[in-house]
Amino acid sequence: MDFLKWYKNTVDSGQEEPPDYTWEDIQNDLDIDHVYERLERSLQKDRRKIWIWRASSAAGILLLLSVGTMLINRFRQTTTEPPIAINSSSPPTTLHQPESIAPPLLQTDTSSLQEMSHTLIIPIQSTQKKQKNDTDKSILMADLQPEPDNQTIIVNPDSFHIETASPVFPMAGNAGHIGINKDRLSPMSFIIPEAKMSIDYETLQAHIEMPEPKQEPIFPERSNTNQILSRITIFAAGELANTWLISPKTKEAFDPQDFTANQTTIKQNYGIGISGNITERWEIVGQFSFARQTGQHYKEYYQGKYVSNNIDLEYTDIALRARYRPFKRNLNHAFSTGLYSAFLNDAHQFISNQRTDISTDYTKTDFGIIAGYQYFAPVTNKITLAAGAFYRQGLKNIFAGNDLISSNLNQSSNTSFNFTISVGYTFSL
Amino acid sequence: MEKELFPEEEVIEGCKEKKRYYQELLYRRFAPKMYGVCLSYAQNREQASDVLHDSFLKIFRNIQSYKNQGSFEGWIRRIVTNTAIDHIRRNIKNVPLINEEIPETEEIDEETVSISMNELHQQVARLPEGARIVFNLYALEGMTHHEIAEKLNITTGTSKSQFSRARQLLQGWVKELMHKKDGLS
């Protein structure tokens, strides 16, 4: 027999039991595989949850800002557009206007207006029911009153033309309504509380006498804005904070291969504050929170189980910020930056809902920087709502160390992304 | 008996579902034979156990890729062989070969050879790593020198020469062992 065949037969036919520990080791590795698969599934779920949270938060903020902007614009329009009715002092008559002299539009001279000299255009149809007096002159005296009525005159702000939307001028009904072209008027709204208008039938000249328009203040109490601390605002603020305890453990937990996983940690915080202007666009803001919560939640493999591990810290917090409104024409936007200082009230850890006091593991104080953006929505001249987003970054290692780990081996700092809503009341000094 | 109770297809399906019971059945069924293969490639029993351990982990983790085509035992054996080669490569950076010329040894009558499997493995283990792999791939797996050369990233000539030398050495050692045993008896 060939040596090779003999060798192959011997090896193939021979069986030898491997050592028992080989199967034990394989089982152990299969157990680890099983645990790892469960962890991986759980981590994938957690990652999905995190993204749902992030997307929901972003959508919520966008919605809040959109609704806020819409409400502010509506608020401004309603304050700058009182409906005005024209009551004609003349009785309704029928009048035939010679077609030869009738231009397509009636040109009116508004030169009698103080500081306003614009052409008033009224469609020809409107002139055909003017009252005619003895001197073949039709004069319309109109009193404008803040009442809605049946005729609408659209005011075009670009040329200050006034055009009727209806072919009939309000002679028959003794009343007309001046509306405002909302699409184009918003930047230069005006109010006509009382006015007189006369129309010369022959020359087709209309005369409107109206008081000097008053400019409605867009932002409350801006008369003394250049004086330091001429505006003081006190406010109450609430926030949803996505907090992080940046430590080696948190950093490692970002690794999908790691058995520990970071959980989205959301805390609710409340505070009060005061702000005062330095210039028209610069302000100084102080805020106080008695019980500001931070912390980090984990899911981790602990003593053979996959458990939740929550580290919760509670601080008394004082923040000082400088706030700047970058747009001169729109003071609703503001960016701010500043510093905070915090004093630890309580620190505890929950592992599977078992509470442990860890106050001694963390330093009694913390400090850091704040930066963020706010959008202000004036509700009245005094009351303002604000929505904002802030980032807070602790600059101090808040881990004080314990019997097992020294402070420098577990350097930790507070970080949070905060979404705030505040309501403020402004005093003018 | 075990085969009758649990057909191979059922065991494979059970392993695909990661049922521990079926995984143990599979291991018990194939481990003794595969351990013999491991011993042929490894230098010692400890290394053979490691190779067997790694091989079965690979089998359980990748059993989903077995599509019930071809021999299941052949599929397992390929994994074991590849794991053994990888193991040797990983642990020994430069796989040693036989460099010196081996004198021709006279053919032995294999039918009269009565040595145990353990004794045979001891002799095979004396071969340098590289020569042992080449010899086993040729003798046990039936690979050509061209295939061996590609697999081990060596030339065909090297494969041929290593195989030839390994065969001469092994034959010589088996003969020596036989003589020793004859002398003792």
Phi, psi of A197 (to 5 degrees): -130, 135
Asked if A10 has any chain B CB less than 8 Å from its own CB, the reply is yes
Which residues of chain B neighbour A21 with C-beta distances below 8 Å? 49
What is the rounded radius of gyration, in angstroms, for the C-alpha atoms of chain A? 37
Q: For residues A300 and B145, which has the higher predicted lDDT (pLDDT)?
A: B145
| Mean pLDDT of the B89-107 span | 64
pLDDT number for residue A229: 84
Give the one of B39, B56, B107 whose C-beta lies nearest to A26's C-beta. Answer: B56
pLDDT digits (tens, 9 = 90+) for A387-429: 999 999 999 999 998 888 888 888 999 999 999 999 999 988 7
A20/B contact by beta carbon, under 8 A: no
pLDDT tens for residues A57-100? Answer: 889 888 988 888 888 887 777 665 554 444 444 444 444 444 44
- Residue B170 CA, chain-centre distance (Å), reads 15
Residue A22 has its nearest CB partner, among B53, B60, B108, at B53
pLDDT at A334 exceeding the cut of 50 = yes
Whether residues B24 and A23 touch (CB distance < 8 A) is answered with yes
pLDDT of the residue at A303? 66
Can you give the pTM of this predicted structure? 0.41
DSSP A19: P
Tell how strand A196-200 and strand A161-164 pair up: unpaired
E-state strands within chain B: none
The answer to whether B56 contacts A15, with C-beta atoms less than 8 Å apart, is no
Quick one: pLDDT band at residue B93, thresholds 50, 70, 90? low
Q: Which pLDDT band, with edges at 50, 70 and 90, does A301 fall under?
A: confident
Among A106-110, A259-263, B127-131, where is mean pLDDT lowest?
Answer: A106-110
CA angle B4, B10, B16 (to 5 degrees): 150
pLDDT at A100: 45
Question: Looking at the partner chain, which of A2, A26, A33 has a beta carbon nearest the beta carbon of B27?
Answer: A26
The domain limits of chain A are 30-75+219-428, 82-209
Q: What is the mean pLDDT of chain A?
A: 75
Selecting from B52, B113, B117 the residue whose C-beta is nearest the C-beta of A14 gives B117
- Does A1 contact B at CB distance below 8 Å? yes
Across A8-17, A247-256, A415-424, the highest mean pLDDT is recorded for A415-424
β-strand pairing of A196-200 with A175-180 = unpaired
pLDDT of residue A275: 95
**CA-CA distances (angstroms) from residue A242 to A65, A266, A374?**
19, 5, 17
The CB-side HSE value for B181 (13 A sphere, CA atoms) comes to 12
Question: For A399, which DSSP code?
Answer: B
Highest mean pLDDT among A170-179, A390-399, B150-159: A390-399
Q: Could you tell me which CATH number the domain at A30-75+219-428 has?
A: 2.40.160.20
**Percent of chain A having pLDDT more than 70?**
65
Instruction: Find the Cα–Cα–Cα–Cα dihedral B9, B13, B15, B19, rounded to 10°.
Output: -120
Give me the phi and psi of A189, to 5 degrees please: -70, 155
CB contact under 8 A, B36 and A11: yes
Beta carbons of B139 and A23 less than 8 Å apart: no
Where are chain B's structural domains? Answer: 2-91, 110-184
**pLDDT computed for residue A123 by the predictor:** 44
CA of A353 to nearest chain B CA: how many angstroms apart? 33
Q: How many CB atoms lie within 10 A of CB A83?
A: 14
Per residue in A360-382, pLDDT (tens digit) is 999 999 999 999 999 999 999 89
* Domain at B2-91, CATH from 1.10.1740.10, 1.25.40.10, 3.30.43.10, 3.40.50.1580: 1.10.1740.10
Contacts of B33 in chain A (CB under 8 A): 12, 15
Inter-axis angle of helices B45-62 and A20-80, nearest 10 = 40
Q: Which residue has the higher pLDDT, B96 or B43?
A: B43
Instruction: Determine the pLDDT at residue B103.
Output: 63
Q: What pLDDT score was predicted for residue A283?
A: 94
The pLDDT assigned to A69 comes to 84
Task: Please answer yes or no on whether A16 and B18 come within 8 Å at the CB atom.
Answer: no
Using the beta-carbon criterion (under 8 Å), do A16 and B117 form an inter-chain contact? yes
**Per-residue tokens: A234:** 């006190």
List the single best residue of B16, B30, B52 to mutate versus A (max A Cβ within 10 A).
Answer: B52
Count residue pairs from A and B with Cβ separation < 8 A: 81
Q: Among 1.10.10.10, 3.30.70.260, 1.20.1730.10, 3.40.710.10, what is the CATH number of B110-184?
A: 1.10.10.10
Chain A: nearest CA to B164, how far in angstroms? 11
How many residues does the structure list for chain B? 185
Q: What confidence score (pLDDT) does residue A47 get? A: 79
Q: What pLDDT is attached to residue A164?
A: 43
Query: Would you list which residues of chain B are within 8 Å, Cβ to Cβ, of chain A?
Result: 18, 20, 23-24, 27, 31-33, 35-37, 39-40, 45, 48-49, 52-53, 56-57, 60-61, 107-108, 110-111, 113, 117-118, 120, 138-140, 167, 170-171
Q: What is the pLDDT of residues A112-148, one digit of tens each?
A: 444 443 444 444 444 444 444 444 444 444 444 444 4
Q: Tokens at residue A153, please? A: 């005159």
Residue A36 predicted with pLDDT over 60: yes
Select from A1, A7, A22 the Cβ nearest to the Cβ of B139.
A7
pLDDT at residue A321 is higher than 90: yes
